[in-house]
Structure 1
Amino acid sequence: MTTFLTIVLGIIMVLVVVSLVRGIVAFLKSTKIDLESGEQTDATDMQLAQNKAMFARVKYQAIAIVIVAVLLGIAN
């Protein structure tokens, strides 16, 4: 069980990094678009993608915390 949870934790950690990078890339693209256009009134597609990626990151981090808590509970 510990080995399985450790593997799942590793996968979740990779997903956290991937979603973080995707969110940062979307942020940089939306910032570039905003600077070039000069005006921004609504959320653009890039900003919506950034929000989606960052929400996914938070979700994966919460799952990772739960897995670590279970691993610590098993260890005791």
Structure 2
Amino acid sequence: HVPAARIVDAKARWIGHKLHADIAIAVEESLPVCEAKKITAALEHELFEHMPALAAANIRLASADADHRHEHAHGEHDSH
């Protein structure tokens, strides 16, 4: 569990017997790059520790307002 990492999108797929994950996390735009790197490193560590089949994790940063846009888009999608 990484408290500072708010996951806004996550996708995983199997390639052979290995799992590959693509994850987007929301961070405040004012967050220094060095702090954002610490968050992504902590999340990556947690993922590999808890998912033995995980071979690769691509973590990208999104602004905090992307988190709200993503929630809104899913809310509209779920209501159809």
Larger radius of gyration: 1
TM-score (ref. length: structure 2): 0.31
Give the alignment's TM-score, normalised by structure 1. 0.33
Higher strand share: 2
Higher share in helix: 1
